[in-house]
Amino acid sequence: MIDIKKYILDVEDFPQQGINFKDITPILNHPAVFQEVIDRMAAFVLECQADVIIAPEARGFLFASAIAYQTHKKFVLIRKPGKLPRATHHVSYDLEYGSNILEMHQDDIQANEKVVIIDDILATGGTIEAIVKLVELSHGQVVGLSVVGDLTTLHSPNLLKGLSFQALVKY
Ligand SMILES: O=P(O)(O)OC[C@H]1O[C@H](OP(=O)(O)OP(=O)(O)O)[C@H](O)[C@@H]1O
Ligand SMILES: Nc1ncnc2[nH]cnc12
């Protein structure tokens, strides 16, 4: 098994003073590493028996679209404001270095569909909480969360209550 941590670089004081940024781009620069990451995350999605994969822009898309292709699952986009063309649900949230709004098309998830969230980094969990709210507005059910890297000290363990969870690398 590849040591994926070696392909996530620490960048101090980016994008703001005091933030230790986890740069996942080396994973993408190494095809065998990217392939292993996608294979492991895809296996988790299948175990969850999810109907839908959902991911936030931009870095979440890098992983989620490859996983959706591999697993033959429906893929739903979570975007920053003003990017989705049809009627959206929207939720405000805070993340490790700022705050924003996330949007999802209102009709992209049907009631009772089982959803797995995919992202690159879990930090404070603000992004994940916002996505859970968006899915609930469409009466879907978040059953799992898979991330490449988990900054375990930055979020409450309660965030993961009731969810199947996969993190390929823990800090
Ligand atoms: O757990 P949190 O504190 O919410 O932070 C995690 C989120 O922050 C990053 O996204 P960002 O909003 O920086 O967007 P990007 O992928 O477009 O760089 C990362 O890709 C996660 O989605
Ligand atoms: N420290 C961090 N590194 C990379 N992405 C992040 N998103 C939120 N916090 C982050």
Whose Cα sits closest to atom 9 in ligand 1? Answer: 121
Check: CB of residue 128 under 8 Å from CB of residue 122.
Answer: yes
pLDDT in tens, 81-99: 999 999 999 999 999 998 9
Pocket test for ligand 2, best of 148, 151, 155, 170 (most atoms within 8 A of CB): 151
| Domains: count for the chain | 1
- Closest ligand to C-alpha of residue 131 is 1
pLDDT bucket at 80, cuts 50 / 70 / 90: very high
Q: Which of 153, 133, 126, 49 is nearest to 90 (CA)?
A: 133
- Closest ligand to C-alpha of residue 12 is 2
How remote is the CA of residue 110 from the centroid of ligand 2, in Å? Answer: 31
Q: Is the ipTM value over 0.90, yes or no? A: yes
Check: CB of residue 73 under 8 Å from CB of residue 135.
Answer: no
Provide the β-strand partners of residue 145: 117, 165
Q: Which domain holds residue 121?
A: 4-170
Q: Cα–chain-centroid distance for residue 67?
A: 12
Pocket test for ligand 1, best of 11, 24, 83, 127 (most atoms within 8 A of CB): 127
pLDDT bucket at 28, cuts 50 / 70 / 90: very high
DSSP-based three-state secondary structure for 10: strand
pLDDT bucket at 165, cuts 50 / 70 / 90: very high
Whether the CA torsion 27, 78, 132, 126 is positive or negative: it is: positive
Look over the chain and give the mean of its residue pLDDT values, rounded to a whole number: 97
User: Which residues in 120-159 are b (16+ Cβ under 10 Å) and which e?
Assistant: bbbbbbbbbebbbbbbeebebbbbbbbbbbbbeeebeeeb
pLDDT bucket at 9, cuts 50 / 70 / 90: very high
The strand pair at 20-23 and 9-12 is best described as: antiparallel
Contact 49 CB / ligand 2 (< 6 Å): no
Q: Which atom of ligand 2 is the closest one to the Cα of 23?
A: 4
CATH number assigned to the domain comprising residue 29? 3.40.50.2020
